Structure 1
């Protein structure tokens, strides 16, 4: 049945490819006007041929779709063939999801012909192995790199599309607050809501879950004086940062304001919520202020947008981890430095075909080989650990799936019915049973085994 599922997947992809081919061929056939009153439209990006506008609805009728849907299909197909040929080759082979390639075409449509090649080369390398969200993140990053000026203009235009809206009240008197804000404002708002929720958790008892406390914290943001009082009452002012109890608590608002005006600047910083961001950026991008930075949970941004995210915050920079170290500990619990090592080395959730969008705080650090209390020392470390979302962790634990770390950032997965996959920095690749067995046996002797992909055989 698993083999049939894989065959059905490929058949469905190739059927979608055939739909794209038919739309492309229709565009070719309808590439010339019948007379001077027959309008031509360019559906794709620069470099794609024009199409008779009136021919589009006829194709839509044959496909039993709205003309807008068929128009989008033709535009995406033309972009893939004329602007993204390397990506189109992967799509034609049935090795990736056509809808992901179509989304890449949409995201890169505004680029000029000489710019879009950068996107094509990067996507063609990633689209067959990485999760769709990872491929689209790569696309957005390359689009920014290819045309930073247009990106900045679009960013400026989008500033005027920010908003805060309220939904209708439900039958219980609750409403949704929906906002579009900058990534920096969102990070600060989230940190402050968490800060207030943590305080409320200590003052309101345990009869509230964290999401409920965060909702209550949002209400406190609308009462600045009350909020300031709450924060000051729970802000450490002692010279000893380890002290737990507040040094003072104001009796009324006047005293609160008076103490606020005399509070030293380094104490004022403690009023802010605290957050932790993982920013991936090269030293050259920081030095030249050109290029792309990637923020976990946000995605790729122009490096000059970092100041919007960080603002005027007091920033603590964590030193770069030397991934050549192979630290091992005897305890079941992962120390924080080991977690950091595993996280940076793996780059996200290591479950097959999963998006790399998980944050460090949203994963469990799982022992690939289960920890044995009576086993040998040094069972916990980068050699035997991988980050997994809780759902994937449960699947591994209870679904009969096994995994092994077969090299730095390389995770071998095997299912009860003989399927095998390798997850590494290139994405997820299917392995044969013999390859998986050889890889698992080699790592027992400290040998990392790599397989060279077979050359493509021309049709």
Structure 2
């Protein structure tokens, strides 16, 4: 179909061809929405009516409404097979079906323009999602106002028009939405990038943001006083890890106050933890020579960057569409998995990065820099390895001094007195690496919930805190108990063996609260050892309910790490640590 040699086309023809193929892609996306509508029509609520004598409870299938008021109900478990065959998670599948139904039933003018090719499908889907909480009447009003503008103005301008239309037709809803913004305040941790850097999003009151910024600034200045010559923003990032330990932070500010004149760190100082040549007797604790689980309070010290965003600051504009495959943030109506309440906030995945609109010198969110003004961050001076070791050693000593002073006030064997600060909570980190990396201290390792890191970055995870190296866990050894509930020992092994749920295209990471499903159903009168690492599979709550209650779904273990799922209509998928793989069976193309 696409055998033409593009290099033979003139520039004008190349551009015309590009636009033509974009139109083809839009028509294909519209066709996907039509498929979703027909599929939803075939799974009406009668399909999930409980069998005689059985109640619709205990995780059994329900009728759900996707897309907003005015859309028809659909049998909940039908979403699972639709999503699996499309190669997306059940949440994305629900989003596609909801978008399709909302366009047909709530936004007929916009849907007509999508079918005619005059509106880009992903932009239309974004519109219906923005209006999902509107009544059917209000949605029709917005549809009439903006349908003709979908492809004629930028998404940012369209958002403003949609917002104005919503406020006009539903002022009470607009006030409720404004109040809901206050409830969106919180602190959200983003995913790690390929260099071990994470983003922290903070939505809080303006006053709290200002006070936090002042403390970060003071800690940055304190590090500079002790000889840290790196740029301001690097020191501010380091301060995020320091502020996690209030006792350490206060001691750092106190000691820096008595040394107001910055001075370069001596190059002959004792190396800090984390350097391969470190003399560990001078530091609080050495860098581990084994990288099994370690315990340390503030993970990612110096590897995080904070974006402080007040509730009044608008999000930066940016487009996204369901065709991109991004995971949604808030749960879709009717898909409220209890086990998913700790899923990443939308700020941690697909929203624009506030740092793209941040004054890099002050850390404040701002409009793009005016032309001709100097808003570049200070360059600072690079620190060589010896200077960095000396600085880290000094900070480790300050932390030691802080807790030594605390111990002198309150010995460890005395009960905790009210008002006496305690050490911050411990953090458990799982690190995977080869024997070569362990022996040489060089290479690549993987830290769970962070991703791949250079071995030299391991010291950033430890920070300036003591750590405990736990024994290596042999995952080849099966562990079982003679009861239904899995113990923490079993949960830990299942987590290490299967870091992500074992449902087709599942996205839920295995953690302490995820459901562990017995592949062979537990029999109270059966043999001992049924709750075993070889008979448990981590599943999100929705996937667990589908496996337990949906008709026509079958699952079996085909080897220690792979499950085979068969859907009601005969589609087969293998799920293992490498992901989800569809298996083409006889009779399928």
Q: TM-score range by the shorter chain?
A: 0.3 to 0.5
Structure possessing the higher relative contact order (Cα contacts under 8 Å, 6 or more residues apart): 2
Q: Give me the TM-score of the superposition, normalised by structure 1.
A: 0.42
Which structure carries more helix by proportion?
Answer: 1
